């Protein structure tokens, strides 16, 4: 039985999957939009409690990692396997960096008693509580996607090592890159909605 | 050419590797079929249990808490484990690549993965019954705030639903790519069998609607585990938003259930009337229109939830709009039969049962779709009757029709046709006995999901329970006939029904590698002129 290889089919499958991811986050963006419409002032106040510097740094980190992912695809297409591996490594390293920054950000908030269900925020206005409920849910889910993306790149790296992802059959890396751009894209929407809404 | 005795015959590897880790779409489809039938049996048992409990007012068999758990389980099992995957995952997997003249689906390994997700998700849902704080008691809709505060094992059940949703998404994704990329030469879109078209429309709903359910159940889980308060008004949340999110998936989900059944019926009717389908393009168009318009009507489940009057009117109007393409299909089927040379074989009898029962459910759907009448019958037995007519009478009968249509192809044997027809008639009578009294109960004001009722409802409840027994006899006869025939039936040839789609050009059961040579399609799926009868 010959191995079925369909470049366009594989790309199409990935795009369809990305639609489902957009819709998954879409549900949360709908919740955000409705809640923002209901509590615009509270959202504004709650937003001021977030650290814009950390958020901005993370945005830069993630966009740069997306650039490296794209460079990895180009490197492999041009047959430079070594360079592709280096770029994949850089992508994963920056993803890690993103999560570390996120960790410090979150733990600082926790330390201040700002998390859903905490005693400190029980007396806050409902809109401010809702802001943080959505903040933790959406950035948390995004964080899970960062982890999945890292695992995906690890797998592609292994494929390249094993010679299963090559300069004329690079769709696995390309699809991994597409996924990573989506993770990046979601963050690009999350960043202004939470950090810059003033 | 090597002789291949068919995909069902054992090979040289162990049974587990041959079947459970197979990447052959036909075997995966068979695995789905068997699992679905097993879950169906469990769901039927739970349904009968409820009917027995409701035979007399007051407590007969089970208490209120158990009753809540039983209707929740019945709903979860039937909706997520049986009806949604029934036709697409089982018959779609087996026959879509065959109808396209393809070797397999576009992503065979992903297909195996989908099946495993189905098994894991189903397992998780079942485990939730016996662990934690007891079986979930929320109803299959998992409405907040109850689902976020009840002590029963809701988190695990919805985790199972999440996994099942993922399985459904991947199957839909696989089918879309398969239909786009793997059609045989000559098989243009205008020659695609209507079953394949219906799977195509279904697959788009699976891909575009299911993620919303995924996020909704994830929110329940984090709500329960972390106390987020996203749906808690005291903390700035809104429980109505839960209902919106839930029905944005779960209303389109009923079209995931019904569209493939309509595809099966559209394939069966021309074959047994020896006539090309009337209005091929309108059937295709109506499938796509149902998929599209069906995504815009979710809030008709929420007319009494406190939405604005404008929203109620808009969704009521849109609900009427989505009835149009369904009616178009029914008219097409009837027009196909008109002056056809009708052969009353079992698949056709099931198809006719489908049309009748689906129409019974569809017409009452309009009663529920118009806001005024919905206020009166909302959350009564009228609703229960409506969706059981549509789902059991529609999807269930579509499933049975598919089994009887493709049985000779799958097993290379023919069942007893007389018994099959008798079981179909028993089921039609049984379902009407079972569900018609529910309309009357609902109009009289009997609420759904109650384990006890006032004495004046006794007679109708008892009538309904008698109907459930006739249904059970019909199902029993059907299963007996099919299981016996699988081993002892008369051998069937390539094409016992003289159908014109590609799967009937293969031996029965089909060989492992499907087509020896890639077929070239030269005529439409319902042009019977050149077809040779081969029983």
Mean pLDDT of B118-141: 90
Cα of B176 to nearest chain A Cα, Å: 8
Residue numbers in B near A21 (CB within 8 A):
211
Q: What pLDDT is stored for residue A1 in this prediction? A: 43
Q: Which residue of A has its CA nearest to B204?
A: A16
DSSP A75-109: HHHTT-HHHHHHHHHHHHHHHHHHHHHHHHHHHHH
Average pLDDT of chain B, as a whole number: 93
If you measure CA to CA, which chain A residue comes closest to B105?
A4
Instruction: State how far the Cα of B208 lies from the Cα of A16, in Å rounded to an integer.
Output: 9
CA–CA dist B183, B334 (Å, integer) = 29
User: Among all residues of chain A, which has the CA nearest to that of B108?
Assistant: A4
Mutate to test the interface with B, among A6, A10, A15, A16 (most CBs of B within 10 A): A16
Q: What pLDDT shows up at residue B40? A: 96
Option in A9, A16, A116 nearest B181 (CB): A9
Closest CB from B103, B207, B218 relative to A16: B207
CB B140 within 8 A of CB B448: no
pLDDT at residue B11 above 90?
Answer: no
* B135–chain A nearest CA distance, Å: 26
* 8 A C-beta contact, residue B393 and residue B353: yes
Res B126: pLDDT:
87
What per-residue confidence (pLDDT) applies to A100?
97
- Percent of chain A scoring above 70 in pLDDT: 98
A87-126 residues touching B, CB cutoff 8 A: 116-117, 125-126
Distance of residue A110 Cα from the nearest chain B Cα, in angstroms: 13
User: Residue B14: pLDDT band by 50, 70, 90 thresholds?
Assistant: confident
pLDDT at residue B494 tops 70: yes
B227 to chain A: nearest residue by CA? A117
Helix/strand/coil for A166:
strand
Q: Is B193 helix (H, G, I), strand (E, B) or coil?
A: coil
pLDDT at A3 over 80: no
**Are residues A130 and B235, on separate chains, in Cβ contact within 8 Å?**
yes
User: Is the separation of the CB atoms in B323 and B366 below 8 Å?
Assistant: yes
**CB-CB under 8 Å, B230 with A20:** no
Tens of pLDDT, residue by residue over B242-299, are 999 999 989 999 999 999 999 999 999 999 999 999 999 999 999 999 999 999 999 9
Helix (H, G, I), strand (E, B) or coil at B491: strand
Which candidate in A30, A31, A40, A171 is best for mutational testing of the B interface (most B CBs within 10 A)? Answer: A31
Q: Rg (Cα) of chain A, in Å, rounded?
A: 19
Residue A153 CA to residue A84 CA, distance in Å, equals 11
Whether the CB-CB separation of B73 and B135 falls below 8 Å is answered with yes
Which residues have a Cβ under 8 Å from the Cβ of B165 and sit 6 or more positions away?
Answer: B121, B210, B211, B213, B214, B217
Residue-wise pLDDT tens digits, A48-96: 999 999 999 999 999 999 999 999 999 999 999 999 999 999 999 999 9
pLDDT tens track for B95-115: 999 999 999 999 999 999 999
Q: What number of C-beta contacts closer than 8 Å exist between A and B?
A: 114
Can you list the alpha helix ranges (DSSP code H) found in chain A?
A: 7-38, 40-47, 52-77, 81-111, 126-161, 171-195
Write out chain A residues lying below 8 Å of B248, CB-based.
27
Token output for B174 = 């696989």
pLDDT tens readout for residues B467-478 = 999 999 999 999
The kind and range of the H/E element at B23 are none
Q: How far apart are CA B448 and CA B302, in angstroms?
A: 16
Check residue B535 and give its pLDDT: 64
Query: What DSSP designation does B63 have?
Result: -
Q: Which residues in B335-352 are b (16+ Cβ under 10 Å) and which e?
A: ebbeebeeeebbbbbbbb
Lowest mean pLDDT among A8-22, A110-124, B336-350: A110-124
Question: Are residues B108 and A4, on separate chains, in Cβ contact within 8 Å?
Answer: yes
Interface test with A, best of B202, B228, B512, B517 (most A CBs within 10 A): B228
| Cα→Cα distances B450→B59, B282, B305, B445, Å | 11, 42, 20, 12
Q: Report whether pLDDT(B3) > 50.
A: no
> What Rg value do the Cα atoms of chain B yield, rounded?
23
Which residues in chain B are closer than 8 Å to A27, comparing Cβ atoms?
211-212, 215-216, 245, 248
Of A9, A19, A21, the CB nearest to B177: A9
Pick the residue of A20, A22, A24, A39 with the most B CBs within 10 A to test the interface with B by mutation: A20
Residue A190: pLDDT above 70?
Answer: yes
Chain A residue with minimum CA distance to B174: A13
Query: Which residues in chain B are contacts of A17 at CB distance < 8 A?
Result: 169, 173
Q: Locate B43 and state its tokens.
A: 């769901």
Going by pLDDT thresholds of 50, 70 and 90, the confidence category of residue A27 is very high
Half-sphere exposure in the Cβ direction for B216 (13 Å, CA):
24
| Chain B positions touching chain A (beta carbons under 8 Å) | 103-104, 106-108, 110, 169, 173-174, 176-177, 180-182, 207-212, 214-216, 218-219, 222, 226-230, 233-238, 241, 244-245, 248, 513
Distance of CA B231 to the CA centre of its chain: 30
Contacts of B491 by beta carbon, 8 Å cutoff, 6+ apart: B412, B413, B414
What is the distance in angstroms between the Cα of A45 and the nearest Cα belonging to chain B?
14
The pLDDT assigned to A123 comes to: 87
On whether any CB of chain B is under 8 Å from the CB of A31, the answer is yes
Q: How far is B513 from chain A (nearest CA, A)?
A: 8
Confidence (pLDDT) at B4: 54
Calculate helix-pair angle for B280-293, B309-337, nearest 10 degrees.
Answer: 160
Contact status of A137 with chain B (Cβ, < 8 Å):
yes
Distance from CA of B1 to the nearest CA of A (A): 14
Inter-CA distances, A24 with A28, A29, B525, Å? 7, 9, 37
What are the chain A neighbours of B235 within 8 Å (beta carbons)? Answer: 116, 126, 129-130, 133
Chain A closest-CA separation from residue B172 CA (Å): 10
pLDDT value of residue B10: 78
Q: Give CA B121 to chain center in angstroms.
A: 17
**Is residue A70 less than 8 Å (CB to CB) from chain B?**
no
- E strand or H helix at B413: strand B413-414
- Report the residue of chain A nearest B221, measured CA to CA: A137
pLDDT in tens, B21-52: 899 999 999 999 999 999 999 999 999 999 99
Q: What is the pLDDT of residue B306?
A: 87
What residue in B sits closest to A11 (Cα-Cα)?
B177
Closest CA to B272 of B368, B349, B203, B363: B349
In angstroms, the separation between the Cα of residue B214 and the nearest Cα of chain A is 7
Task: Determine, for residues A133 and B236 on separate chains, whether the beta-carbon distance falls below 8 Å.
Answer: yes
Chain A residues whose beta carbon lies within 8 Å of the beta carbon of residue B234: 126
Give the contacts of B82 (CB within 8 A, at least 6 positions apart): B36, B39, B40, B43
Q: Under an 8 A CB cutoff, do A133 and B208 touch?
A: no
pLDDT on residue A2? 52
Relative to beta strand B490-491, strand B413-414 is antiparallel
H or E segment at B165? Answer: helix B154-181
CA angle, residues A119, A135, B224, in degrees to nearest 5: 60
Question: CA dist A17 to A178, B206, B268, B423, Å?
Answer: 10, 11, 33, 42
Look up the pTM and report it. 0.94
Name which of A110, A133, A135 to mutate to probe chain B: the one with the most chain B Cβ atoms within 10 A of its Cβ: A133
Chain B touched by A163 (CB under 8 Å): no
**pLDDT at residue A4 is higher than 80:** no
């Amino acid at each position: 039985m010959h191995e079925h290889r369909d470049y366009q089919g594989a790309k199409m499958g990935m795009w369809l999957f990305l639609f489902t991811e957009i819709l998954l986050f879409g549900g949360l963006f709908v919740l955000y939009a409705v809640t923002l419409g209901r509590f615009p002032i509270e959202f504004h106040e709650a937003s001021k409690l977030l650290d814009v510097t950390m958020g901005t740094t993370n945005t830069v980190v993630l966009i740069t990692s997306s650039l490296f992912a794209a460079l990895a695809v180009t490197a492999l297409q041009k047959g430079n396997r070594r360079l592709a591996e280096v770029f994949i490594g850089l992508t994963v390293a920056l993803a890690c960096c993103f999560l570390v920054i996120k960790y410090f950000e979150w733990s600082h908030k926790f330390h201040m008693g700002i998390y859903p269900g905490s005693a400190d925020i029980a007396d806050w206005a409902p809109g401010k509580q809702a802001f943080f409920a959505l903040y933790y849910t959406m950035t948390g889910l995004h964080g899970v996607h960062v982890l999945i993306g890292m695992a995906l790149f690890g797998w592609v790296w292994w494929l390249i090592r094993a010679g299963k992802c090559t300069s004329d059959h690079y769709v696995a890396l390309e699809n991994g890159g597409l996924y990573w751009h989506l993770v990046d894209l979601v963050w690009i929407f999350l960043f202004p909605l939470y950090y810059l809404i003033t | 050419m090597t002789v291949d005795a068919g995909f069902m015959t054992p090979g040289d590897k162990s049974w587990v590797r041959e079947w459970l880790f197979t990447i052959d779409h036909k075997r995966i489809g068979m695995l789905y079929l068997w699992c679905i039938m097993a879950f169906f049996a469990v769901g039927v048992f739970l349904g009968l249990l409820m009917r027995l409990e409701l035979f007399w007012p007051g407590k007969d068999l089970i208490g209120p808490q158990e009753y809540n758990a039983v209707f929740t389980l019945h709903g979860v099992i039937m909706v997520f484990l049986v009806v949604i995957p029934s036709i697409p995952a089982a018959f779609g997997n087996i026959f879509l690549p065959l109808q396209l003249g393809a070797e397999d689906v576009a992503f065979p390994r992903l297909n195996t993965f989908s099946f495993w997700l189905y098994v894991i998700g189903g397992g998780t849902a079942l485990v939730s019954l016996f662990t934690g704080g007891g079986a979930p008691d929320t109803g299959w809709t998992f409405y907040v705030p109850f689902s976020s505060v009840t002590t029963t094992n809701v988190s695990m059940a919805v985790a199972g639903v999440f996994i099942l949703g993922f399985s459904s998404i991947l199957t839909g994704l696989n089918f879309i790519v398969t239909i786009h990329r793997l059609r045989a030469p000559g098989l243009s879109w205008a020659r695609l069998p209507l079953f394949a078209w219906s799977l195509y429309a279904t697959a788009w709903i699976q891909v575009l609607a299911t993620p919303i359910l995924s996020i909704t159940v994830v929110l329940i889980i984090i709500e329960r585990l972390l106390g987020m308060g996203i749906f808690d008004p005291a903390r700035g949340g809104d429980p109505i938003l839960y209902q919106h999110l839930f029905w944005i998936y779960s209303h389109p989900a009923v079209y995931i259930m019904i569209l493939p059944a309509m595809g099966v019926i559209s394939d069966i009717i021309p074959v047994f009337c020896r006539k090309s389908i009337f209005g091929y393009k309108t059937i295709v168009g109506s499938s796509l229109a149902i998929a599209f318009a069906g995504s815009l009507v979710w809030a008709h489940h929420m007319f009494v939830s406190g939405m604005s009057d404008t929203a109620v009117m808009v969704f009521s109007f849109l609900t009427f709009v989505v009835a149009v393409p369904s009616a178009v299909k029914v008219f097409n089927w009837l027009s196909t039969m008109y002056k056809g040379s009708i052969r009353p074989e079992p698949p056709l009898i099931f198809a006719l049962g489908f049309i009748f029962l689906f129409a019974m459910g569809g017409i009452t759907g309009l009663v529920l779709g118009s806001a005024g009448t919905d206020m009166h019958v909302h959350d009564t037995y009228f609703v229960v009757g409506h969706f059981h007519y549509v789902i059991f009478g529609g999807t269930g009968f579509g499933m049975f029709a598919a089994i009887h249509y493709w049985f000779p192809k799958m097993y290379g044997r023919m069942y007893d046709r007389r018994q099959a027809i008798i079981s179909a008639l028993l089921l039609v009578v049984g379902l009407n006995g079972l569900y018609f009294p529910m309309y009357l109960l609902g109009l009289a004001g009997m609420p759904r999901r109650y384990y006890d009722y006032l004495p004046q409802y006794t007679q109708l409840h008892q009538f309904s329970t008698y109907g459930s027994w006739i249904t059970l006899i019909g199902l029993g006869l059907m299963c007996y006939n099919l299981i016996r025939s699988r081993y002892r039936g008369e051998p069937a040839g390539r094409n016992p029904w003289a159908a014109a789609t590609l799967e009937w050009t293969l031996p029965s059961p089909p060989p492992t590698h499907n087509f020896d040579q890639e077929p070239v399609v030269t005529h439409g799926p319902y042009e019977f002129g050149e077809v040779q009868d081969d029983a």
